[in-house]
Amino acid sequence: MKISGIQKTSLIDYPGYISTIIFTQGCNYRCPYCHNPSLIAADSNEESYLSVNKVMSFLKKRKGLIDALSITGGEPTIQADLKEFITEIRTLGLKIKLDTNGSKPEILETLIQAGILDYIAMDIKSSLDKYPKTTGSKFDFLSSIRKSINIIQKSGLDYEFRTTVVPGFHENEDFKDIGLLIEGAEKYYIQNFKADICYNSKLMGITSFPLYKLEDFQKTIAPYVQKVYIRE
């Protein structure tokens, strides 16, 4: 596991639970507006990676103070030993939340079938026709995205889908397309873009969407999902 950092405590990342967050290194997307650009390259700062033993030791000391571990990135599902890592963490009695971009449905299915996940948060970057622009990737992940959505919705686990919205990348009509893509979803979050840190520095400092625009997006997608929330 390439683990680049730990956030000791979060009261909001895993809804309803106090969690520790770990950040895995490496991502197969190059989203221009990525807020964690230092985590994209898979081979950067290898000497600074935290060992699994160190993470386990840290979590043991947090016993009784946290309920869960949230695994984010980067993209956790590109880690070759993710299943083994989560299995070891489960011995501590912690719930596991996994963040993913949905590009590896076969990994998601393996983890779900193993019974080692409690919550999945999947990013829906945009309507599918805009994925090359929003992900900065030339790879064809579209069939994988559809498969991951289907796997998650049928998993029986608690889950959410979410989209970080960025001026110039998202508009109102996209949310009808997203709604059709995730139709029937339990929870969907619209997250406002923060321009202080970006993979593409040209986006730094641009003005995020005002609240009324987020509410417009919310109204557009609301007929397709059970609940829609805004994260400003």
The CATH code of the domain that includes 169 is: 3.20.20.70
Total domains in the chain come to: 1
Q: What is the mean pLDDT of residues 30-43?
A: 90
Angle at 151 between CA 118 and CA 88, to 5 degrees: 35
Sheet with 3-10, edge to edge strand ranges: 3-10, 19-24, 68-72, 95-100, 119-123, 158-165, 188-192, 228-231
Nearest CA to 1 out of 97, 80, 72 is that of: 80
Give residue 115's domain range. Answer: 3-231
Report the pLDDT value the prediction gives residue 139, as an integer from 0 to 100.
Answer: 76
Q: What is the mean pLDDT of residues 60-84?
A: 96
84: CB partners within 8 A, 6+ apart: none
Report the pLDDT value the prediction gives residue 47, as an integer from 0 to 100.
Answer: 74
Cα 13 to Cα 42, 108, 211, 223: the distances in Å are 24, 20, 21, 26
pLDDT (tens digit per residue) in 74-98: 999 999 999 999 999 999 999 999 9
pLDDT (tens digit per residue) in 175-184: 999 999 999 9
Q: What is the mean pLDDT of residues 145-158?
A: 98
Global pTM?
0.95
- The sign of the CA dihedral 114, 189, 10, 46 is positive
Residue 139 pairs in a beta bridge with none
